[in-house]
Amino acid sequence: MTVVAPSLLSADFARLADEIRRVEDAGADWLHLDVMDGHFVPNLTFGPPVIAALRPHTRLPFDVHLMIEPVDPQLAAFREAGADWITVHVEACPHLHRTIQAIRQLGAKTGVALNPATSEETVRHILPELDLVLVMSVNPGFGGQSYLPLVEDKIRTIRGWIKERGLATRLSVDGGIGPSTAPRVLSAGADVLVAGSAVFGAPDAKRAIAALRGSIAPEP
Ligand code: DX5
Ligand code: ZN
């Protein structure tokens, strides 16, 4: 089952609760929350207080994508704010295995994100510890950037490892995902689609989500 996770980064920040309700009613599966620190990435968004304020407004699982460095001191605050999935960047975590264990101890699902230039080898050995791998198909920092097709080989390789080892790890793709790029990442093996501008920027969010979901025939 393909999961569609609209990224709040492209929502109207003056009306966040309404925007979340709009995509929840439109059939979103998860809500993707992009946390940026102006240091690991060249942009700033929001932190635990905003996430905590939004938590009572929706039943959607919160898929929190942390683009911050250092990350370890902040993990508990994001979990307390309501993060169900916590994804950290391999490039921001010198002791990645320890960070993953800390996320698990907090009771959240564990995720690791890879920038476009980062090799899949960085997660190969810890794959059984991960509930999610997030392959970035743009350089993180901004919504509305163009999809980088170079990520498709990486998606295929990671999907192969997940299958070989019989894991339940989710494989997510984030950046430039819309109706024309979704089929490419789905056929490469992704099963979570993060989409900001393609959902929040569309006049009809329900159609936009259906277009992403229906962009490939289900496996027989
Ligand atoms: C980029 C963020 C993405 C972003 C995607 O750093 O991680 O989640 O919001 O936006 P679109 O779908 O517009 O590329
Ligand atoms: Zn993201």
**Tens digits of per-residue pLDDT, 91-122?**
999 999 999 999 999 999 999 999 999 999 99
| Annotation marks residue 34 as catalytic | yes
User: For residues 214 and 31, what is the distance between their CA atoms, to the nearest angstrom?
Assistant: 19
Please name which ligand lies nearest the alpha carbon of 177. Answer: 1
Which is catalytic among the residues 34, 37, 63, 131?
Answer: 34
Which is catalytic among the residues 29, 37, 131, 174?
Answer: 174
> What's the predicted TM-score (pTM) here?
0.97
| Annotation marks residue 84 as catalytic | no
In the chain, the amino acid numbered 31 is L
Shortest CA distance to 193 belongs to which of 201, 208, 73? 208
Q: What is the pLDDT of residue 218?
A: 36
Instruction: List residues near ligand 1 (CB under 6 A).
Output: 7, 9-10, 32, 34, 65, 138, 140-141, 143-145, 174-177, 194-198
Q: Name the band, by pLDDT with cuts 50, 70 and 90, for residue 27.
A: very high
Buried/exposed 178-207: b ≥16 CB within 10 Å, e otherwise:
bbebbebbbebbbbbbbbbbbbbebeebee
Q: What is the pLDDT of residue 214?
A: 82
Shortest-distance atom of ligand 1 to CA 141: 6
Q: Name the band, by pLDDT with cuts 50, 70 and 90, for residue 215.
A: low
Q: Is 86 helix (H, G, I), strand (E, B) or coil?
A: strand
